[in-house]
Amino acid sequence: MGSAILSVRNVTKRFGGLVAVNRMSMDVRSNEMLGLIGPNGAGKTTLFNCITGVYKPDEGRVFFEGREITGLPPHVVVKRGIARTWQKVRPFKKMTVLDAVTVGALLKIPSVESAKERAREVLEFVGFPKEKFARLGSEITLIEHKLVDLARALATGPKLLLLDEVAAGLRPHEMDTLAKVLLRIRDELGVTMVIVEHVMRFVMNLSERIIVMHEGVKIAEGTPKEVASDPRVIEAYLGTKPV
């Protein structure tokens, strides 16, 4: 286990009267695959948005590699090395798959031709079928969208990747394929990952360490086994006290 690459300290985000994230703190260790789980509306996506600069947190601070990134605009956060994927895919519908990933690659590679080359490599790495590189964003399936979204983020050359419900809507065999890709991204490219899921199954097999959020606060942290048997977690998911 490495040192903390990302530190979230007492982050709070309110929307009107609703406290979506409440004094949340967590550390992400270098080269780990951290699972961030919790029922719908637990504040996971809001926390992601606070880290990546989509929202500015009302309170608290965020540090990446020891430097503060609180409230920086999204494009600056990406340049520092944090990329993300989206819960609801946000495809570039009128661009080809290859061009969409090229946009990501252009962050570090100024030449379009070289960026395209890099985009091809990344798409192949995540296992996107080669014959569909020239398809438009409006012409591909959900799993393909998820792979493009992943490849797009990966092409920016991140050190930390935040995955928001990357497995949602996928069939079991598609989840297995995706899990293998994620493991390769960490092991071969050395990218640290935070995986948000509200379905536990996918993360339980993938992550060594899991943080559970509920109603904006962290209620548990530990190995999948510890978390799964934690009464507060069971209560949060089932909404009733365990017998």
Binding site for other proteins (CB under 8 A): 16, 52, 54, 73-75, 78-79, 83-84, 86, 90-95, 99-100, 102-104, 106-107, 110, 112, 115, 134, 137, 152-153, 156
Contact predicate 97/135, CB 8 Å: yes
Our CB check for other proteins shows the closer of 158 and 224 to be 158
Q: DSSP letter at 53?
A: T
Tell me whether residue 16 or residue 172 sits nearer to other proteins (CB atom). Answer: 16
Which lies closer to other proteins via its Cβ, residue 93 or residue 180? Answer: 93
Q: What angle do CA 127, 100, 152 make, to 5 degrees?
A: 55
Supply the minimum distance, in Å, between the C-beta of residue 192 and other proteins.
17
The structure tokens 């797009």 sit at: 152
Instruction: For strands 67-68 and 59-64, give the pairing.
Output: antiparallel
> Could you tell me the smallest distance in angstroms from the CB atom of residue 75 to other proteins?
5
H-state helical runs in the chain: 44-52, 74-80, 97-105, 112-125, 142-155, 172-189, 200-206, 224-228, 231-238
Question: Smallest gap, in angstroms, from Cβ of residue 16 to other proteins?
Answer: 8
85 vs 212 by CB, closer to other proteins: 85
Shortest reach from residue 220's CB to other proteins, in Å? 28
